[in-house]
Amino acid sequence: MAILISISSLSDKEGFVDWGFAPVAETGEDYRRFREYISRGENADMKYLAKNMDKRENPSLLVPGARSVICFLAPYSSIRSSVAAFALGKDYHDVIKEKLRRISLHLSQECAKHNLEYNGRCFIDSAPVMERYWAAEAGLGFIGRNNFLISPEYGLRTLIGVIICNIPAEWLGERREKIADGCGECRRCMDACPEGALYAPFRLDARKCISFHTIESREIYSARPVDYCGQIFGCEICLRACPYDRDSEGWEELRTNAEEILSKSPQDWHVMDKKEFKERFGDTPLSRAGLDKIKNNL
């Protein structure tokens, strides 16, 4: 009898809204676009993105013997504020990784029953992994012109957790069909971008992007390189313009600070000291930018 390792109930139990898998193969179109993005210098000073390109292309270099890429969709809220919605609660890296690790432990126990020495690693937006590409290959959505994974069923308020492992894809069940591009003639995201950062389909120049300048850039600016449009951490203008964006509650852990953040005035942020910031937001995505940067963004 063929071996079948079931993941659906575990994925449900952990609160993921969807999951799927794809056999490991060389990455295609999305990787080519990524290489071109790097070669045009549109990654600004996010130099880490240009590292480990070989691993990004070939997951077997990250996990020796890798045969499957399993992807899970974690929903976050669509709450509107000057802080990007994914950053209104606990750090999603920690929240999602804990859930992936529990699933990975189950996979290793299942493999042991079938005399396979499990080798798997969990990834969430912190390693050279083409998450969106693999999620699209796994049939969870299509990559929109805004570069996000778009699930026709769950929209685009999802983060992608990935397990790369040596389990043969055929042990995981029947692979889903890929979802066709759903952007059609739409260009709302590009038209909505106030700085022209999303200047063509799939082309985003981080040097003009509010998200980059308010989160990733380490610089404390004396003069702003772009208009922040009232944003103090991230920007979701192009997301909100997308017809696939819809109201979402998302996981509670990822919005635990929403009320507090929404009630803060610029003055509240200005008078906050580092001790208070660490106590209140030390385990949240806001710590990536840090208090000085947030004050600089006000």
| Active site members | 125
DSSP letter for each residue of 18-34: EEEEEE-----HHHHHH
Q: How far apart are CA 296 and CA 298, in angstroms?
A: 6
Candidates 49, 198, 254, 286: give the one binding ligand SF4 (CB under 6 A).
198
N residues, the chain:
298
Dihedral of alpha carbons 96, 149, 258, 261, sign: positive
Shortest gap between Cβ of 75 and ligand SF4 (angstroms)? 18
Residue linked to tokens 């794809």: 22
Q: Are 110 and 4 in contact (CB under 8 A)?
A: no
Shortest gap between Cβ of 110 and ligand SF4 (angstroms)? 37
Q: Which is nearer to ligand SF4, 136 or 242 (CB)?
A: 242
Q: Is residue 163 at the binding interface for ligand SF4, with CB under 6 A as the rule?
A: no
Q: Is residue 207 at the binding interface for ligand SF4, with CB under 6 A as the rule?
A: no
Residue linked to tokens 């990004």: 56
Reduced to 3 states, what is the DSSP secondary structure of residue 273?
Answer: coil
Q: Is residue 272 at the binding interface for ligand SF4, with CB under 6 A as the rule?
A: no
Q: Are 159 and 125 in contact (CB under 8 A)?
A: yes
Candidates 197, 215, 258, 294: give the one binding ligand SF4 (CB under 6 A).
197
Q: Is residue 204 at the binding interface for ligand SF4, with CB under 6 A as the rule?
A: yes
Q: Is residue 42 at the binding interface for ligand SF4, with CB under 6 A as the rule?
A: no
Shortest gap between Cβ of 167 and ligand SF4 (angstroms)? 33
Residue linked to tokens 């990455």: 27
Residue linked to tokens 């071996």: 3
Stretch that binds ligand SF4, among 12-20, 46-54, 116-124, 206-214 (CB under 6 A): 206-214
Reduced to 3 states, what is the DSSP secondary structure of residue 162?
Answer: strand
Backbone dihedral angles phi then psi of residue 55, each to the nearest 5 degrees: -70, -35
Stretch that binds ligand SF4, among 53-61, 65-73, 117-125, 197-205 (CB under 6 A): 197-205
Closest CA to 206 of 184, 182, 235, 231: 235
Q: Are 198 and 189 in contact (CB under 8 A)?
A: yes
Q: Which is nearer to ligand SF4, 23 or 194 (CB)?
A: 194
Q: Is residue 230 at the binding interface for ligand SF4, with CB under 6 A as the rule?
A: no
Binding track over 69-88 against ligand SF4, x by CB under 6 A: --------------------
Q: Is residue 149 at the binding interface for ligand SF4, with CB under 6 A as the rule?
A: no
Q: How far apart are CA 99 and CA 122, in angstroms?
A: 10
Candidates 70, 96, 167, 209: give the one binding ligand SF4 (CB under 6 A).
209
Distances (CA, A) of 171 to 5, 68, 192: 6, 10, 44
- Count the residues of the shown chain that bind ligand SF4, applying the rule CB under 6 A: 23
Q: In the chain, what's the furthest Cα-to-Cα distance? A: 67
Q: Is residue 195 at the binding interface for ligand SF4, with CB under 6 A as the rule?
A: yes
Shortest gap between Cβ of 184 and ligand SF4 (angstroms)? 7
Residues 239-268 close enough to bind ligand SF4 by CB under 6 A = 241-244
Q: Is residue 193 at the binding interface for ligand SF4, with CB under 6 A as the rule?
A: yes
Binding site for ligand SF4 (CB under 6 A): 144-146, 183, 186-189, 193, 195, 197-198, 204, 209-211, 235, 237-238, 241-244
